[in-house]
Amino acid sequence: MPVALLWFRRDLRLADHPALLAARETGDVLPVFVLDDRLWRPSGNPRRRFLLDCLADLREQTGGALVLRRGDPQQVITELVGETEATSVHVSADAGPYGRERDASVEHALGEVPLVRTGSPYAVTPGRVTKRDGTPFQVFTPFARAWREHGWRAPAPRPRDVPWLTGVRSEKPPDATTDADLPPAGEAAARAAWRRFRDERLPDYADARDVPGGDGTSRMSAYLKYGCIHPRTLLADLAEIPGDSARRYTDELAWREFYADVLWHRPETAREYLKPELQAMGYDDGPDAAELVKAWELGRTGFPIVDAGMRQLHAEAYVHNRVRMIVASFLVKDLHQEWTRGARYFLHHLVDGDLASNNHGWQWVAGTGTDASPYYRVFNPVTQGKKFDPDGTYVKRWVPELRDVDARYVHEPWTAPGGVPEGYPEPIVDHAHERQVALDRYQRLRDR
């Protein structure tokens, strides 16, 4: 019986997996995951731990057949082809800058053994949705409209039986420990999380999604990151649900696909400015700036909504999306740091750290990316807190020093009758002043 290698990457599931179906048509299927040091090393322990738990689940689903090897994929995959005399290697196409480069080198090394790309981690493979003249979209709203018009396939069926090839040597997984409270890993956990959100919280999503103190979001980002569930599966359910909440959630999936599309067309923007003319913006450095950044990292800025977000990051390897924007704006606009610094920090600590979504989200906040009205937006941490956490539920959960502060003062504890509670810091900067500094620097750059 011919052997097909199924090389898992960001598709750690068996349902709605077109590459699995393609491999199954060939003969016996050897499931493989390569721990690539170029991806493993820069990942923080929350992502490493979640990945390893997902792989343990996948190994169980494949009846113990999943082979784990560590090393350069070009060498590992070609060696496995030689060991098993495989006649083909099957993958879900990777749209990321490194993934495309890696797959091209593996394809070259395989020679006459084909690398078969079937499907991708996205509802619409990046690069397929363009303007009528063939150029890429630069703004989300027209992209989302074209993305919806393009449409996507129905979820692929889950095969009833797969002839897994067993007995091939697998390496022991490395260690990765974290104190963060991670979600349960794997495909079954992803599907259960989606069903709970769809049935219980989706009806209120349009109103509840911006309230960090509630339970209004889906928390599906980590599962989508590693492909424990495919966005097509979610979209198929959403298509059957009327109302604004289903449309809003579909928009959030579209944002994920938009940023992947931007990165596909502009791979350098994973690390560089989408708008390079803003790279000359002045930023702060030196010991004083480093001390302020450390306060931001530790959640001790004296601005409660910022501190709550950073403490949630360390406790859960996750931050509510509205709060991500607030803490990012604070680092870039109040502490005058490059977006790249914050993007690296988040990627290291987030369990759902996705290169395209994370780095382009940071660029959007910094005004260097796809935002149509870039640098003038500066989030006021006090007014944002009052608007989206009016009773202080979110702040009081993550900042215990403020749990006894009246809700009227929780976002400005320095105005409370007794002043800032013991153990909590005074604000490390004057927001109004730093906002003006940021805008003045931008204006000087434009004048030049």
Give the pLDDT confidence score for residue 346 in this predicted structure: 98
> Could you tell me if 20 and 159 are in contact, meaning their C-beta atoms sit under 8 angstroms apart?
yes
Domain co-membership, 322 together with 365: yes
Residue environment code for 172-205, b if the CB has 16+ CB neighbours within 10 A, otherwise e: ebeebebebebbebbbbbbbebbeebbeebbeeb
Per-residue model confidence (pLDDT) at position 424: 98
At 443, which CATH number? 1.10.579.10
Closest C-alpha to 171, from 70, 315, 32: 70
3-state SS, residue 362: helix
Q: Which two tokens stand for residue 17?
A: 């997996």
What pLDDT, in 10s, does the model give residues 211-243? 999 999 999 999 999 999 999 999 999 999 999
- Torsion angle defined by CA atoms of residues 424, 435, 386 and 202, in that order, rounded to the nearest 10 degrees: -110
* Predicted pLDDT of residue 373: 63
Which residues of the chain carry a pLDDT beneath 50? Answer: none
Please state, in angstroms and rounded to a whole number, the distance separating the CA atoms of residues 404 and 427.
Answer: 19
Same structural domain for residues 223 and 312? no
CB atoms within 10 A of CB 447: 6
- State both tokens at 133: 């003249």
Provide φ and ψ at 35, rounded to 5°.
Answer: -80, 100
Q: Distance (Å, rounded) from C-alpha 138 to C-alpha 222? A: 26
- Is the same domain home to 141 and 87? no
What pLDDT, on the 0 to 100 scale, is given for residue 29?
Answer: 98
Is the distance from CB of 31 to CB of 166 less than 8 angstroms? no
Q: 158 lies in a domain?
A: no
**CATH number (domain holding residue 30):** 3.40.50.620
CB atoms inside a 10 Å sphere around CB 371: 18
**Region at 426 (left for phi over 0; alpha for psi -120 to 50; beta for the rest):** beta
> What integer pLDDT is reported at residue 372 of this predicted model?
63
This prediction has a pTM of 0.95
The pLDDT value given to residue 118: 97
Does 257 share its domain with 327? no
Q: Is residue 244 part of a domain?
A: yes
Structure tokens at 164: 């897994």
Q: Verify that 234 and 364 share a domain, yes or no.
A: no
Domain count, the chain: 3
Query: Residue 32: helix, strand or coil by DSSP?
Result: strand
Residue 369: count other Cβ atoms within 10 Å of its Cβ: 23
Q: Domain of 380?
A: 276-447
Integer angstrom CA distances of residue 345 from 174, 300, 338: 23, 16, 12
